[in-house]
A = this chain, B = another copy of it.
């Protein structure tokens, strides 16, 4: 049994917890929270709820810690810190800062002889893995990534951290014309803005400065500034009623030639009823890989680019060759 800790119990933490129930080789030991542990009810009766302040007391009881905080402010400090004491998995998803984050975690984990895998999820994560493989197979071509329509946890989270905001939901929506052109193999040149738009539903505190909040959202670097973004201020009731689901999806397509007039299209796509449950399921599979890699005395930071399918799988190598190959 691989002993798992969940650090942060929001949607993603609950997604990891749901995934643990579906696999026989994991045991949830504890959920760590910055809230008062007495106030937190979790779904797993056999697991403890522990204050984040006491996390180091569990460093010998947990094989892999799955960090479920946000990329905007939590993970940049939490992962490098916890990587000194635990094998960690995180879903750091700010593409522009991913390399710096990797380097910070790598230094901490190498020094501690622990192994952490960062930026795990579906994008970055599965989509990145597919992009890298597609590019390796078809070097002469173009790839395109589209997201949605779906709720982005990272972007919703980023809005919620703005002063005056109570709650928010952000939908990423692919732009139809762009999608059609790519699937037709037209290899269009598309700007970020031509591919997707962003739609935000925001609940603010009474008397909050809506104009300032809307401006902060629309100008937020990496998250919103490169997109056409619409901001709708609504009540908490309306948000709960009409925007409580967290579906998502998207696809990666690469179109490339191997000789004159000989074209190939590779596509990977996802249709997800729940983004955090699917992401949690990915994090858990990578926790299995981290456990195996650490058992071989590997240390430092890794990403999806380093992890083999054999390490993700709970099947024996013989079974993989006999039944999955």
| Chain A interface residues (CB < 8 Å from chain B) | 15, 18-19, 22-23, 95, 98-99, 102, 119, 124, 126, 128-133, 135-140, 258-259, 261-274, 277-278, 280-282, 285, 288, 303-310, 312-315, 317-318, 320-322, 324-325
Chain A to chain B contacts (Cβ below 8 Å), 6 pairs: A98-B321, A124-B325, A267-B267, A267-B271, A303-B325, A305-B325
Query: A288 — which chain B residues lie within 8 A by C-beta?
Result: 136
Q: A22-B258, A271-B264, A309-B129 are in contact. Are A99 and B139 (CB under 8 A)?
A: no
Copies of the polypeptide in the assembly: 2
Specify the chain B residue showing the minimal Cβ separation from A133: B309
Report how far A167 CA is from B258 CA in the complex, Å.
Answer: 26
Residue among A19, A102, A138, A258 with max Cβ neighbours from chain B (10 Å): A258
Q: Known contacts A137-B278, A267-B269; can you find 4 more A-B pairs with CB under 8 A? A: A23-B139, A137-B312, A258-B277, A267-B271
Q: Shortest Cβ distance from A299 into chain B, in angstroms?
A: 16
Q: Is the CB of A271 within 8 A of B281?
A: no
Query: A305 — which chain B residues lie within 8 A by C-beta?
Result: 308-310, 313, 317, 320-321, 324-325
Q: Is the CB of A313 within 8 A of B266?
A: no
Q: Is the CB of B263 within 8 A of A270?
A: no
Specify the chain B residue showing the minimal Cβ separation from A125: B325
Report how far A23 CA is from B124 CA in the complex, Å.
Answer: 26
Q: Is the CB of B306 within 8 A of A308?
A: yes
Query: A309 — which chain B residues lie within 8 A by C-beta?
Result: 129, 132-133, 136, 304-306
Q: A259-B18, A320-B305 are in contact. Are A264 and B285 (CB under 8 A)?
A: no
Q: Is the CB of A321 within 8 A of B102?
A: yes
Q: Is the CB of B264 within 8 A of A324?
A: no
Query: A15 — which chain B residues lie within 8 A by C-beta?
Result: 258
Query: A138 — which chain B residues lie within 8 A by C-beta?
Result: 281
Query: A136 — which chain B residues lie within 8 A by C-beta?
Result: 285, 288, 309, 312-314
